[in-house]
């Protein structure tokens, strides 16, 4: 496994259109490693199709009050996990000056109807930062495949649309959310939670399951159901941003007879968690 820090090194190590790529912000856990294993599965010939993992904490997707400075940078541990797993061929870990040698004035602006709802409503500019860094990484790696986790459901949809509308020759794969034995969606931010909070964090996925159960039982007053779900979560000590039922294909409001996804974001203590459940 090669560890590369510069764009020049990366370009000299890769042929265009061959790699399977997993972009991450580092601080890897088992969920990330599952995405790397998925990348290896879609690119089994490591001679012609290397697996590339990027480790880069992207300032552009953090709001001023968010945790950019305290977001864990764990390069040594990340590389050790990837090396032990054995699926990764190249780790690209640039510093900020390497990826943004000058202020990034050119940015990728996703459409408001998809990027300014849900996460985009509560984190303005988030998806512009995500699309900008991912598009830039795509330009550098020039992969044939890219793998992103379904835990960031809206992000996956935004990036799929970006690839399609920009005509990028990349097949985007969604990796299923990996959970702890108790059912908590794995996230780098889980390490901010105390043991007591980790147990309480299961209430978020429980609230999403309850929403889906109400819909399956025939209740159709979606806004009332979502409001009551948020009230119940708030009564348990959370600060919910949204709990909602949406269509899977475009994140529009839920309609009968269409595949749905329940999505939620809420703060527990000082830690903001997201989760989703498809149905």
Q: Helices 30-42 and 75-85 sit at what angle, rounded to 10 degrees?
A: 50
**CA dist 117 → 110, 127, 149, 161, 252 (Å):** 12, 10, 19, 15, 10
CA-to-CA distance for 37 and 147, rounded, in angstroms?
Answer: 10
Active site annotation includes 32: yes
Domains, the chain = 2-175 (3.40.50.620), 188-278 (3.30.1300.10)
Q: Report which of 143, 101, 132 is spatially closest to residue 13, judged by C-alpha positions.
A: 143
pLDDT band for 31, please (50, 70, 90 cuts): very high
**Each residue's pLDDT tens digit, 33-72:** 999 999 999 999 988 999 999 999 999 999 998 989 989 9
Give me the catalytic one of 5, 32, 145, 249.
Answer: 32
Residues 73-97 have pLDDT tens digits of 999 999 999 999 999 999 999 999 9
The confidence band for 198, taking pLDDT boundaries of 50, 70 and 90, is very high
Q: What does the pLDDT read at residue 164?
A: 98
Residue 16 has pLDDT above 90, yes or no: yes
Walk across the sheet containing 271-278 and list its strands.
238-247, 260-268, 271-278
- The answer to whether 190 and 31 have CB atoms below 8 angstroms apart is no
Q: Model's pTM, two decimal places? A: 0.95
pLDDT given at position 253: 92
Instruction: Read off the pLDDT of each residue in 180-191 and give the average, rounded to a whole number.
Output: 95
CB atoms within 10 A of CB 179: 16
């Amino acid at each position: 496994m090669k560890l590369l820090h510069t764009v020049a090194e990366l370009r000299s190590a890769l042929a265009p259109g061959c790699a399977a790529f997993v972009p991450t912000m580092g601080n890897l856990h088992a969920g990330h490693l599952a995405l790397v294993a998925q990348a290896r599965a879609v690119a089994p010939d490591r001679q012609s199709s290397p697996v590339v993992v990027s480790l880069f904490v992207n300032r552009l997707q953090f709001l001023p009050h968010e945790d950019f400075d305290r977001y864990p940078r764990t390069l040594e541990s990340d590389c050790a996990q990837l090396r032990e797993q054995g699926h990764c061929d190249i780790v690209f870990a640039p510093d900020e000056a390497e990826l943004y040698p000058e202020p990034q004035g050119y940015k990728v602006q996703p459409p408001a109807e998809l990027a300014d709802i849900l996460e985009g409503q509560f984190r303005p500019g988030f998806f512009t930062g995500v699309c900008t860094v991912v598009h830039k990484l795509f330009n550098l790696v020039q992969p044939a495949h890219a793998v992103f986790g379904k835990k960031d459901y809206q992000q996956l949809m935004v990036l799929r649309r970006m690839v399609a509308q920009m005509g990028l020759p990349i097949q985007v794969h969604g990796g299923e959310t990996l959970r702890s034995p108790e059912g908590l969606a794995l996230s780098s931010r889980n390490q901010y939670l105390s043991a007591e909070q980790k147990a309480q964090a299961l209430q978020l996925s429980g609230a999403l399951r309850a929403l889906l159960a109400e819909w399956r039982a025939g209740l159709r007053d979606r806004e009332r159901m979502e409001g009551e779900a948020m009230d119940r979560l708030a009564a348990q000590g959370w600060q919910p941003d949204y709990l909602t039922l949406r269509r899977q294909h475009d994140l529009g409001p839920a309609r009968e007879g269409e595949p749905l996804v329940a999505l939620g974001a809420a703060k527990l203590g000082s830690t903001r968690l997201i989760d989703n459940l498809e149905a």
